[in-house]
Amino acid sequence: MTVFALGPDEQEWCAALRAMTAERLSPLAEKGTEGRVNRPLVAALGELGLLRRLFPDDGPLRALDLCLLRESLAQECTEAETALALQGLGTYPVVQSGTEAQRARWVPEVAAGRAVAAFALSEPDAGSDAAALSLAAEPDGPGRWRLTGEKCWISNAPEADFATVFARTGGPGPRGVTAFLVPADRPGVSGTHLDLLSPHPIGTLVFDGTPVTGEDVLGEVDGGFAVAMGTLNLFRPSVGAFAVGMAQAALDAAVAHAGARTAFGGPLKDLQSVGHQLAEMATRTEAARLLVYAAATAYDTGARDIARRSAMAKLLATETAQYVVDAAVQIHGARALRRGHLLEHLYREVRAPRIYEGATEVQRSIIAKELYRA
């Protein structure tokens, strides 16, 4: 069943979440330092029960619930949205593939906002082509390895308390990858911050003979690529939801500005060029939203075409958000480029989702492959 509209209860919940975000989370985000983990913000996400929603007691997380959560947060505070999403991304391999001991150790801490997680897949020479990763897990006795190499473009690195780390235990390609749960205090782990256009925390992780054992393995040895894809398949539609939230925030700002700004003898909104631009922004945003909801519902119902739907949702939503934010800046003029303006912030935020968790070009390749498969 495809979701074309939210019910009254879902609409009310999303509105309440937006209000709570503006009141409780935005002030904490403003006090944080760009490019660094905002632990008070993460703690507040835990105290308000939002992180707990990522790990429901009555069954697996619904992709649609995750999308509604991320979209609502993003409309009011992208920092809060990103902090929550990164907690889920880094922890879900533990939820889906970890042992009872691994889940008991880390999931309650993440849900409470006391521990920060990272998802360490990308490398300097293995970004979109994740199966080409080269971080070595060198044998060090039965059921023991030492990790040697570097991960790059890792959100929450190097400040995370633990990371899901994907390393090569076998031959080339996806079948030789193993997922490990690596605490930050393990010997040989270090890292540096990266200063990017995007304001969220990101950096490198370096492993210098870091010891890991069979107790640190998530899932099966040489089965780590499936662990990674299992997490990404769940989170990919919600990246689209994040993008839709940013697009809606930019659209709302543009509509308000066009109604209040006077130019050429009347409100800016009365100019046909502006009105048509707003109409195009609104239509594209709604189309992206519906595609995201449809992909999430496909995931929740176990549809066979989830790979295609998720790729389409992320592709359209992230490209749409880039367009809408840019158009909103154009409508506002130079004031939108001032440091601290909402649209200046969104302009920097909106670029990264077109790259991470599968770049736009990768999504198109997935869609094409699925079309031929069908």
**Residue 205, SS3?**
strand
d(CA 104, CA 108): 7
Here the tokens at position 151 are 């991960």
In the chain, the N- to C-terminal Cα span, in Å, equals 20
Closest CA to 113 of 166, 164, 38, 172: 38
d(CA 356, CA 359): 6
Q: Which residues of 229-249 are buried (b: 16+ CB within 10 A; e: fewer)?
A: ebbbebbbbbbbbbbbbbbbb
Question: For the CA atoms of the chain, what is the radius of gyration?
Answer: 21
- 162 membership: H or E segment, kind and range: strand 162-168
The answer to whether the CB of 262 falls within 8 A of the CB of 218 is no
Closest CA to 244 of 322, 326, 152: 322
Per annotation, catalytic residue among 10, 344, 357, 370? 357
**Residue 153, SS3?**
strand
Q: Is 280 a catalytic residue?
A: no
What are the catalytic residues? Answer: 357
